[in-house]
Amino acid sequence: MRQIPMREPDTLLEVRDLATHFFTDEGVVRAVDGASFDIPRGKTLCIVGESGSGKSVMARAVMGLTRAPGRVVGGSVLWCPDQDGQATDLATLHGNSRAYRAIRGPEIGMIFQEPMAALSPVHTIGTQLAESVRSRHAVSKRETRERGIEALARVGIPEPAARYDQYGFELSGGMRQRAMIAMALAAEPKLLIADEPTTALDVTTQAGILDLILDLQSETGMTVMFITHDLGVVAEIADSVAVMYLGRVVEHADVDTAFHAPAHPYTEALLRALPSIHAKTGERLAAIPGMVPHPFARPAGCAFHPRCHRFRPGLCETREPENVPVAPGHGARCLLLKPARKAAAE
Amino acid sequence: MLRYIIRRVLWAIPILIGVSIVSFFIIQLPPGNYLTALMASMRATGESVDMSQLQTLSERYGLDEPMIVQYWKWISGIVLRGDFGQSFLYTRPVSDLLWERLGLTFILAFTSMIFVWLIAFPIGVYSAVRKYSIGDYVMTFVGFIGLATPNFLIALILMYVSFTVFGQSAGGLFSPQYLDAPWSWAKFADMMSKIWIPVVVIGTAGTAALIRIMRANMLDELPKTYVDAARARGLSGAHAVTKYPLRVALNPFVSRIGWELPELISGATITAIVLSLPTTGPLLLEALLAQDMYLAGSFIMMLSVLTVIGTLISDLLLAWLDPRIRQGVVG
């Protein structure tokens, strides 16, 4: 495993220019194509984007769980578990290697969108939970069970000892997702990747799960990468936000800046599309015109230009935008932006 | 669970009664009976037919009586005394004939079943995990050839090869000197040296079919999120595959066991005739042709009993394997 010195000791995960392409019979789908972001230790980063923006594919790339015909074709995923500044580039490891398996599970845990699908239909919760416990601690059967039941209790599942021996289909949707969280947390990971964990749940259950993740985070100090398309969820839990569009992070900022002073027109448009309680009666909900383009028909230049309300002909469709650092910790990929220092000098 | 088993066993009773009636009457459906068939064959060979002798035979076997009475005699003999009646053809008790052949049939069938599973299982899983690889294509190709080739043709080829290359006659299960000998290690070893040909012949089609089933089952399960979830808990790819999707893919596999039991007896008849195997298939065919109704009827009864037992076994196995079914059973 190659060790790379890191620049920022507070960063747990630094993703640079990550690219996952799917080599299908119809052609190459660039699902993630140069995504970059950082996650500081102990913080929550929300990855936001419409369906097809590559959020989940990116999460899988970080986990080393990219499925064929997909492949991580470029970029780096620097994992720096300790503050000594040493990092491992996960993108260079084989997904099924021993080194990756030592990280996946005990270091980085993941929960999925559909808890029912993520649970085996023919194994008990306990069987699956035990794997997680043992990935971190080599303990006896009895202790594995005790720790597993403890993990279920910690995520607020009533009668955890009975639930331990039950099957996924015997639990309610919310309880299933709690069980999934218990499985991820039983290994005491430093980073929890949550791929739309509340999308399949009803609103009250959703709130309960979000509160649980926040509580567990303040209790254990773990870092969370939360993938969602729900800006309401972002406002509730995020420290910082990465907005994805067609496989790229188009804006990266702390949560207040993202909501109140977005730099990228796409982020602006997303926020305008939120229903507001102050809206006048009869006013129509703003929508972003057009659709997310088909991955084979990626627009030239800035990929968002056909839907952009600030589209400038002759500029936006000709050049690909670079990441522009508009303020410290705030960057956006838009050709209309000027870097912070240059803007101040002018 | 116990209640479920008892209920299933009780249900088997009316099914078997129905089957016994239907099979008895269907066997009787062709015009004439064993004696007319016998008479016809005697006339054909130019023997004179003694009508009074036929009359005594007819009375002895009760062939003149109404069908209901005949059925009652037959079924009450089986249920009350375990007496399956006499075979006209062999003038021996049917039960002797049945058990003699059943033992060998079971040995042969189980050996081929294990052969099939040992080969089909790993190949099916491999073809699914390495979908569209060269290995998968080769296995698919070989599998389809195995499926498409009639068993008797493979039997003939193997017999030819066995005779010309190994100088060994491939027919039957025993060498002549062991045919009527009591069981001994030497006889067992002799059988084992000959059994591979019928096992391969009967096994090829089954192997090919099973590879396809296993591959399809695995392909259904492999993309499921729970496989990724298991890997996300630190399991290796191979461990995650064998622990989770393979377990789920077993279900359709297990439900097939139900049909395999009766197939042990009726299946592979043509192969058995070509290879002159002392199994049940050829005997059943012979009994049906000669209208030897007690022999044929008892065979069909056996088949139905095995079908019912087989289905019960596979249902119980499924309930044991799959908690979703178990819950439905208990609840």
For B239-292, write each residue's pLDDT tens digit: 888 888 888 888 877 777 777 767 766 667 777 888 888 888 888 888 888 778
Which residues, other chains included, contact B173 with Cβ-Cβ below 8 Å and sequence gap of 6+?
A: B104, B108, B191, B194, B195, B198, B277, B278
Q: Which residues of A touch B327 (CB under 8 A)?
A: 167, 169-170
**Within an 8 Å CB–CB cutoff, is residue B224 touching chain A?**
yes
Query: Are residues B299 and B214 part of one domain?
Result: yes
Q: Could you give the number of structural domains in chain B? A: 2
Q: In terms of CA atoms, which chain A residue is nearest residue B225?
A: A118
Q: Do A60 and B226 touch (CB under 8 A)?
A: no
Query: Are residues B325 and B281 part of one domain?
Result: yes
**Within an 8 Å CB–CB cutoff, is residue B324 touching chain A?**
yes
Q: Judge whether B266 and B284 are in contact, CB under 8 Å.
A: yes
Q: In terms of CA atoms, which chain A residue is nearest residue B244?
A: A120
Q: Which residues of A touch B326 (CB under 8 A)?
A: none
pLDDT at A2: 54
**Within an 8 Å CB–CB cutoff, is residue B247 touching chain A?**
yes
Closest CA to B236 of A330, A65, A341, A185: A65
Residue B305's pLDDT band (cuts 50, 70, 90): confident
- Rounded to the nearest angstrom, the minimum Cα separation between A141 and chain B is 17
- Rounded to the nearest angstrom, the minimum Cα separation between B217 and chain A is 15
Query: Are residues B110 and B79 part of one domain?
Result: no
Closest CA to A230 of A106, A55, A82: A55
Q: Do B228 and A65 touch (CB under 8 A)?
A: yes
Question: Does residue B324 lie in a domain region?
Answer: yes
- Rounded to the nearest angstrom, the minimum Cα separation between A115 and chain B is 9
pLDDT at A253: 93
Q: In terms of CA atoms, which chain A residue is nearest residue B235?
A: A101
pLDDT at B267: 62
Identify residues of A whose CB sits under 8 angstroms from chain B CBs: 60, 63, 65, 67, 95-96, 101-102, 104-106, 109-110, 112-114, 117-124, 128, 131-132, 135, 167, 169-170, 180, 183-184, 187
Query: For residue A132, how far is the Cα from the chain centroid?
Result: 21
Query: For residue B185, how far is the Cα from the chain centroid?
Result: 26
Within 114-153 of B, beta carbons closer than 8 Å to A belong to none
Q: In terms of CA atoms, which chain A residue is nearest residue B221?
A: A120
Question: Does residue B294 lie in a domain region?
Answer: yes
**Within an 8 Å CB–CB cutoff, is residue B294 touching chain A?**
no
pLDDT at A3: 60
Q: Which residues of A touch B230 (CB under 8 A)?
A: 120, 128, 131
Question: Does residue B180 lie in a domain region?
Answer: yes
Compute the C-alpha angle A49/A105/A5, nearest 5°: 80
pLDDT at A344: 45
Q: Which residues of B touch A184 (CB under 8 A)?
A: 232-233
Q: In terms of CA atoms, which chain B residue is nearest residue A130?
A: B233
Query: Are residues B277 and B138 part of one domain?
Result: yes
Query: Are residues B322 and B191 part of one domain?
Result: yes
Q: Do A101 and B236 touch (CB under 8 A)?
A: yes
pLDDT at A179: 92
Q: Which portions of chain A are predicted below pLDDT 50?
A: 343-346
Q: Which residues of B touch A177 (CB under 8 A)?
A: none
Question: Does residue B123 lie in a domain region?
Answer: yes
Domain assignment of residue B313, given as a range = 96-330
Per residue in A10-59, pLDDT (tens digit) is: 889 999 999 999 998 888 888 898 889 999 999 999 999 888 888 999 99
Question: Does residue B23 lie in a domain region?
Answer: no
Query: Are residues B321 and B256 part of one domain?
Result: yes
Q: Which residue of A114, A120, A180 is in closest CB contact with B244?
A: A120
Q: Do B324 and A169 touch (CB under 8 A)?
A: yes
What is the Cα–Cα distance from B121 to B129, expressed in whole angstroms?
A: 12
Per residue in B273-282, pLDDT (tens digit) is: 888 888 888 8
Query: Are residues B191 and B77 part of one domain?
Result: no
Q: Which residue of B223, B224, B234 is in closest CB contact with A101?
A: B234
What is the Cα–Cα distance from B316 to B330, expressed in whole angstroms?
A: 12
Q: Give the domain-ending residue among B83, B116, B149.
A: B83
**Within an 8 Å CB–CB cutoff, is residue B234 touching chain A?**
yes
What is the Cα–Cα distance from A74 to A18, expressed in whole angstroms?
A: 6
pLDDT at A6: 54
Query: Are residues B285 and B173 part of one domain?
Result: yes
Query: What is residue A90's DSSP assignment?
Result: G
Question: Does residue B262 lie in a domain region?
Answer: yes
Query: Are residues B237 and B126 part of one domain?
Result: yes
- Rounded to the nearest angstrom, the minimum Cα separation between B313 and chain A is 19
CATH number at residue B290: 1.10.3720.10
Query: Are residues B67 and B160 part of one domain?
Result: no
Q: Which one-letter amino acid corresponds to residue A331?
A: G
Q: Do B226 and A122 touch (CB under 8 A)?
A: no
Q: Which one-letter amino acid corresponds to residue A132?
A: S
A14: which 2 tokens? Answer: 């630094």
Q: In terms of CA atoms, which chain B residue is nearest residue A186?
A: B233
What is the Cα–Cα distance from A235 to B35, expressed in whole angstroms?
A: 93
Q: Which residues of B touch A119 (CB under 8 A)?
A: 226, 229
Q: In terms of CA atoms, which chain A residue is nearest residue B327?
A: A170
pLDDT at B96: 84
Q: Judge whether A128 and B225 are in contact, CB under 8 Å.
A: no
ipTM value: 0.85
- Rounded to the nearest angstrom, the minimum Cα separation between A249 and chain B is 24
Per residue in B51-61, pLDDT (tens digit) is: 777 777 777 66
Closest CA to A332 of A275, A267, A284: A267
Per residue in B83-131, pLDDT (tens digit) is: 887 787 787 888 888 887 888 888 888 888 888 888 888 899 999 988 8
Mean of all residue pLDDT scores within chain B: 81
pLDDT at A340: 65
Q: Which residues of B touch A121 (CB under 8 A)?
A: 226, 248, 322-324
- Rounded to the nearest angstrom, the minimum Cα separation between A195 and chain B is 12
Phi, psi torsion values for B86, nearest 5 degrees: -100, 140
Q: Which residue of A104, A121, A170 is in closest CB contact with B234?
A: A104
pLDDT at B304: 81
Q: Judge whether A55 and A46 are in contact, CB under 8 Å.
A: no
Query: Are residues B147 and B77 part of one domain?
Result: no
Q: Determine which of B233, B235, B248 to mutate to test the interface with A (most A C-beta atoms within 10 Å).
A: B233
Question: Does residue B88 lie in a domain region?
Answer: no
**Within an 8 Å CB–CB cutoff, is residue B237 touching chain A?**
yes
Phi, psi torsion values for A187, nearest 5 degrees: -90, 5
Q: In terms of CA atoms, which chain A residue is nearest residue B228?
A: A65
Residue B214 has pLDDT above 70, yes or no: yes
Query: What is residue A323's DSSP assignment?
Result: P
Phi, psi torsion values for A224, nearest 5 degrees: -125, 135
**Within an 8 Å CB–CB cutoff, is residue B41 touching chain A?**
no
Query: Are residues B100 and B73 part of one domain?
Result: no
Q: Do A131 and B225 touch (CB under 8 A)?
A: no
pLDDT at A4: 64
Q: Judge whether A234 and A227 are in contact, CB under 8 Å.
A: no
